[in-house]
Structure 1
Amino acid sequence: MLKVASYNIHKAIGTDRRRNPGRIIDVLNELDADIVALQESDRRFGVRAAAIPALLLEQNSDYRAIPLDVQIDSMGWHGNAILVRRSAIVHAHDIIHIPCLEPRGAVRAHIEIGDMHISTFGMHLDLSGLWRRKQAAAVIKLAKHYGQGMRSILMGDLNEWSANRGCLSDFKRSYSIVECGRSFHSRSPIARLDRIMHCPGLTAIEAGVHHSLAAKKASDHLPVWADLVENSCG
């Protein structure tokens, strides 16, 4: 079984408006997922330094950020990052340029955990519905290309407020969308903005939103998670 999660950490600024990366690490440790897609993982201004210092993550968790080789001080690409357990093997990684009106991007990695090879995509899509659909089309095309011969998982903050329309309808043509639940706003969740999607070769056996006291305070989004197993076919 593989546990994955997606978490918009809001640059480590909590609902009390304080920046506290230690709280984010506490939530990550509570989640105990094998792969985590982060959004807003870098600070907004200046050199876009990582919201979670690498040394703090190393000393206080079993996670490491997949290096994206873009900016020296950043963890992600336009805030998108992928965390894995230290025992995971990363065979490849890349940044993805997607159509955008405002600065947006996506990231991908080929990860080996146990005997499973996973093509993982992390994304944070646009506020505009038209641009979200353009971005979804670009991600779907690349996910199909890079996912050949392995299982594929797509995760992130889609910024899609509708239940079944917009970019969700585009993703559904190729991937199953896990019913995790409402993740935004963390104090009183009303929207399913954060999503986990997977190829037909996987099945979600359990999923949810992480509602711990720490999570409700650490960011304006709650993390979503899913337990996935491989199908015998697909």
Structure 2
Amino acid sequence: MVLIASYNIRKAIAADRRRRPERIIEILGEIGADIVLLQEADRRFGDRQSALPPHMLAEHSIYRPVPYEMRPGSIGWHGNAVLIGPGVEILRHQPLHLPTLEPRGAVLADVKVDGQALRLVGMHLDLSGLWRRKQARAILSELDHQHDQLPLVMAGDLNEWRNSGCIRDFCQHHRIVPLGPSFHARQPVGKLDRMFVSNGIKVVESGVHNSLLARNASDHLPVWARIRIG
């Protein structure tokens, strides 16, 4: 089985408005996922370097980032990053360019875990419902045009409060993973963080990581799913 998590880390800015990347890394250790899809993993201003310094990841965690190499000092693309643990092999990866009025993007990574290939898509969609649907359709179109079809997990902060709009677009050919509210972390009421799987994947269990540390580290809680491929 494979444990996958998705987490909007809010640029590692904690509830006290201080940047605390070490706290995010500690929460990732609490979850113990094999693969983590991050949103808001880069700083917002300046050269937009990673909010989780690469040297800190290397020194204090088991994870290494999939190397998109789109911007020096960044670990992803428009804040979207994929972290993989020991035993996960990178097969290929690419950034996904999305239609948008503000900087948005998604990332794709094909990996091998437990001897099986798995396709991952991490995303952070727009605040506007109209642009969310355009972005969802762009992602789905990109997936349709891949040269091969692999078991797929898509996850991220969709900024969608209802089970409509872009949720319906993703659910046309994929199953939504049951997850609880993850926003706001202090008192979660919104299911903004979502996950979808394709055929060939069984969801064994899933949920929201609502630890004391997580409630104070970002405005989102991490979500997770334990899956079986094949």
Provide TM-score, normalisation by structure 1.
0.96
Match of 1:106 in 2: 106
Aligned letter for 2:6? S
Residue 147 to residue 41, structure 1, CA distance change in 2 (3 Å): farther
How many residue pairs end up in the alignment? 230
Unaligned runs of 5+ in 2: none
Q: How does 1:52-131 map to 2 (within 5 A)?
A: 52-131=52-131
Aligned letter for 1:210? H
SS in 2 for 1:188: coil
Match of 2:2 in 1: 2
Residue 147 to residue 136, structure 1, CA distance change in 2 (3 Å): farther
Task: State the shift of 1:32 in Å.
Answer: 0.7
SS in 1 for 2:142: helix
Match of 1:200 in 2: 199
The alignment status of 1:229 with 2:203, answered yes or no, reads no
The alignment status of 1:148 with 2:156, answered yes or no, reads no
Preserved CA contact (<8 Å) 2:177 2:196: yes
Task: State the shift of 1:76 in Å.
Answer: 1.5
Cα offsets for 1:118-167 (capped at 9, x unmatched) = 110000000000000000001112223338342111010000011x2100
Task: State the shift of 1:36 in Å.
Answer: 0.7
Q: Following the alignment from structure 1 to structure 2, what is the Cα–Cα distance between the partners of residues 186 and 37?
A: 18
SS in 2 for 1:140: helix
Aligned letter for 1:179? P
* Alignment RMSD: 1.1
Preserved CA contact (<8 Å) 1:143 1:152: no
Match of 2:186 in 1: 187
Q: Following the alignment from structure 2 to structure 1, what is the Cα–Cα distance between the partners of residues 209 and 81?
A: 19
Q: How does 1:27-42 map to 2 (within 5 A)?
A: 27-42=27-42
SS in 2 for 1:146: coil
Preserved CA contact (<8 Å) 1:41 1:81: yes
Unaligned runs of 5+ in 1: none
Aligned letter for 2:185? S
Residue 99 to residue 155, structure 1, CA distance change in 2 (3 Å): same
